């Protein structure tokens, strides 16, 4: 198998079928959460984002972002963004454990059979800036900046139509396998930016371009919100993970060189014989002038 065939196999193994148990569970949770929100509020705008909407879903890392947006003059959940954030959290806490993230509310189960299991659904409360559509303001529960202007529809389109969703999927898996802990949206934006001039290259070439950038230029990497590039520099969300990002990239490049692509991406079956032979041949070629068997007969 070639490098690209191996990566295609990795992606195939990470694909979640629409009728899979994981997808059925997400749909069940989505329906229950939407019903709960609509029972508490009159006509909030509920939309769906996350990896399914962006076409970047993989088995190792998948989610559904549910927005709960209120019109500009709608104060039923509160007058301020912080009040809206906390009010929606309180509604959700009736049926779920709620972890308050930077702008999202992460849901885990209260069901004794699945106690505190992450449900792969995050709810994002916010308010439209103008009327009932377009850009929105979000409350930020962390950091110095408490207000964020953005647009979920722009995010989805930017990633889904990037032309590099396969590379994004591979790096989402890589992020999990190496415990780098880069925020998913930040990682997606990094991949799109680094490959903007390399969309025609093969998948293995794209992976090497990104790994090399992480390895050699990690301190220069920056990320901006495509929905608000001037107002939302997201680079600070990289700062804490730059060392692990670089270390993991260096390690992966070494693994690819020494043991092959299947090992580097932990293909869930024995490494193909063809790749093993290729790796061994490369290792043998790197040994300088092995001793000739007829040496002592000369």
pLDDT at 279: 43
Q: pLDDT of 120-171, one tens digit each?
A: 999 999 999 987 778 999 999 887 778 889 999 999 999 999 999 999 999 9
**Greatest mean pLDDT among 30-39, 129-138, 278-287:** 30-39
**Above 80 in pLDDT, residue 46?**
yes
- For residue 281, is it within any domain? no
Q: 285 lies in a domain?
A: no
pLDDT of 280 > 90? The answer is no
Name the β-bridge partners of 105.
Answer: 100, 123
- Are 60 and 118 in contact by the 8 Å Cβ rule? The answer is no
Alpha-carbon distance 11 to 20, whole Å? 16
Q: Is residue 203 a contact partner of residue 8, using CB atoms and an 8 Å limit?
A: yes
- Going by C-alpha positions, the residue among 274, 226, 234, 230 that lies closest to residue 9 is 274
Q: How large is the average pLDDT for residues 1-18?
A: 95
Residue 280 lies in a domain: no
Domain-located, residue 115: yes
Give residue 284's pLDDT band: very low, low, confident or very high (50, 70, 90).
Answer: very low
Instruction: Say what the pTM is.
Output: 0.86
The SS3 assignment for 231 reads coil
> Does 283 map to a domain?
no
| Confidence at residue 6, expressed as pLDDT on a 0 to 100 scale | 96
CB 242 within 8 A of CB 227: no
Query: Is the Cβ–Cβ distance between 136 and 151 less than 8 Å?
Result: yes
With CA atoms as reference, report the closest residue to 102 among 241, 236, 193, 246.
236
Model confidence at 209: pLDDT above 60: yes
Is 82:184 a contact under the CB 8 Å cutoff? no
pLDDT class for 269, splitting at 50, 70, 90?
low
Instruction: Please check whether residue 226 lies inside any domain of the structure.
Output: yes
Q: Is residue 291's pLDDT more than 50?
A: no
Which whole number is the average pLDDT over 207-225? 96
Instruction: Say yes or no to pLDDT of 270 above 70.
Output: no
Domain membership of residue 279 (yes or no) is no
Q: Quick one: pLDDT band at residue 114, thresholds 50, 70, 90?
A: confident
Pair of tokens at residue 25:
């569970």
Residue 14 belongs to domain with CATH number: 3.30.460.10
Q: How many domains does the chain have?
A: 1
| Distance, CA of 145 to chain centre | 23
| 223-264 per-position pLDDT tens digit | 999 998 888 888 888 999 999 999 999 999 999 999 999 999
pLDDT of res. 298: 29
153 located within any domain: yes
pLDDT tier, 290 (very low <50, low <70, confident <90, very high otherwise): very low
Tens digits of residue pLDDT in 65-106: 999 999 999 999 999 999 999 999 999 999 999 999 999 999
For residue 30, give every residue at least 6 positions away whose Cβ sits within 8 Å of its Cβ, in sequence order, or none: 48, 64, 66, 121
Question: In terms of residue numbers, what domain contains 95?
Answer: 3-255
Segment (H or E) for 53: helix 50-54
């Amino acid at each position: 198998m070639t490098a690209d065939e191996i990566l295609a196999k990795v992606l195939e193994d990470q694909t979640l079928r629409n009728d899979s148990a994981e997808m059925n569970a997400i749909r069940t949770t989505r329906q229950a959460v939407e019903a709960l929100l609509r029972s508490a509020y009159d006509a909030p705008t509920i939309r769906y984002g996350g990896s399914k909407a962006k076409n970047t879903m993989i088995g190792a890392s998948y989610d559904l972002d549910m927005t709960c947006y209120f019109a500009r003059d709608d104060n039923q959940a509160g007058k301020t963004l912080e009040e809206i954030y906390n009010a929606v959290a309180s509604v959700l806490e009736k049926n779920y454990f709620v972890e308050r993230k930077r702008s999202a509310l992460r849901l885990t189960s209260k069901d004794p059979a699945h106690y505190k299991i992450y449900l792969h659904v995050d709810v994002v409360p916010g308010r439209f800036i103008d009327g009932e559509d377009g850009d929105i303001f979000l409350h930020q529960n962390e950091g110095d900046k408490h207000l964020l202007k953005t647009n979920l529809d722009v995010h989805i389109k930017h990633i889904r139509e990037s032309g590099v969703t396969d590379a994004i999927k591979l790096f989402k898996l890589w992020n999990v396998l190496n415990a780098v802990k880069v925020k998913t949206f930040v990682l997606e934006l990094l991949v799109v930016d680094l490959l903007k001039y390399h969309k025609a290259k093969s998948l293995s070439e794209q992976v090497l371009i990104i790994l090399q950038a992480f390895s050699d230029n990690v301190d220069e990497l920056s990320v901006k919100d495509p929905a608000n590039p001037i107002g939302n520099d997201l680079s600070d969300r990289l700062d804490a993970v730059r060392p692990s990002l670089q270390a993991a990239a260096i390690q992966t490049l070494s693994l690819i060189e020494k043991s092959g692509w299947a090992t580097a991406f932990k293909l869930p079956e024995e490494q193909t014989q063809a790749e093993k032979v290729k790796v061994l041949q490369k290792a043998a070629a790197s040994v300088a002038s092995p001793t000739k068997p007829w040496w002592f007969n000369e």
